[in-house]
Amino acid sequence: MTTALTPPAGARPPVRHPDAPAPGEPLGSHYEHCFGCGGGQPHGLHLEARAEEGVAVTAEFTVTADHQGAPGLAHGGVLATALDETLGSLGWLLRVIAVTGRLETDFVRPVPVGTALHLSAEVTAVHGRKIYATATGRTGGPDGPVAVRADALFIEVKVDHFIDNGRPKEIQAAMADPDTQRRARAFEVNP
C-alpha cells in the first residue's frame, strides 16, 4: 500500500450515519446509467450492493462475455471498476458524496466469464474530506479465495462537483429522476 493510502496520524474511525440503510438492506443504484450499478447500461456490471454492520457493504456481480479482456477471462479494468463501484457505495453509509482519488488494485487470480464475484468493502478511517477504504472480491462464494483486492482513498465533494463538471444534459435528467431514493443518493446528502 502506498503512503497516500495510509491514514495519517489524527485520522478517526468512520461513523455510520444514523439514517444509513439497515444491515442487509439493498442500496439500489445511485444512477440509472452508471456503468457499475445502473440498470440502463446493457453492458454494465449491474452490481448490486447492500449495507452491512458498521461502515461496510457487500456486493455481487457476474462476469459476462461483455466483460472479457483475454478470451474467457474478465478484463482487469472491469474488475477494478467493480471494486471502485463497491467502494464508492460506502459513501451512502456515511451520507457523504465522495469520488475516487486513488485506487490501488491487486489482481490475485484470473476470473473466468460466468463467475459471480463476491465483493466486500469497508471504510477504515476518515481524515477531514479523506476517506480511506479497502475492498476484496472473492470467487466461489463470500468466503471463497480472494481474486482481487484494493485499497482506496475517496475525497468528499459537494454536489457542485457533478453540476459543474458533468454534461448538462445528463445532470438535468438525473435531477429530474422520479426515483426519489436515487435522487437522494445523488443530490440530497446530509452533512
Ligand X SMILES: CCCCCCCCCCCCCC(=O)SCCNC(=O)CCNC(=O)[C@H](O)C(C)(C)COP(=O)(O)OP(=O)(O)OC[C@H]1O[C@@H](n2cnc3c(N)ncnc32)[C@H](O)[C@@H]1OP(=O)(O)O
Nearest-approach distance from CB 87 to ligand X, in angstroms:
7
* 31 binds ligand X per the rule CB under 6 A: yes
* 61 binds ligand X per the rule CB under 6 A: no
**CA 151 to CA 123: how far, in whole Å?**
10
**CA 179 to CA 86: how far, in whole Å?**
21
Residue of 11, 73, 116, 157 interacting with ligand X (CB under 6 A):
157
- Residue 93: what are its φ and ψ, rounded to 5°? -80, -25
* 153 binds ligand X per the rule CB under 6 A: yes
**CA 127 to CA 112: how far, in whole Å?**
38
| Residue range at the interface with ligand X (CB under 6 A); choices 29-37, 50-58, 118-126, 131-139 | 29-37
Closest listed residue to residue 109, CA positions, set 77, 78, 59, 146: 146
| Residue range at the interface with ligand X (CB under 6 A); choices 18-26, 38-46, 68-76, 149-157 | 149-157
Query: Cβ neighbours of residue 26 under 8 Å, at least 6 residues apart?
Result: 48, 49, 50
To which H or E segment does residue 136 belong?
Answer: strand 130-139
Residue of 14, 44, 88, 137 interacting with ligand X (CB under 6 A):
88
Q: Which cell numbers hold the place of 187?
A: 443530490
Residue of 29, 30, 57, 94 interacting with ligand X (CB under 6 A):
30
Q: Among all residues, whose Cβ is closest to ligand X?
A: 88
Residues in contact with ligand X by the rule CB under 6 A: 4, 30-31, 36, 84-85, 88, 97, 99-102, 128-130, 153, 155, 157, 162, 166, 171, 174, 186
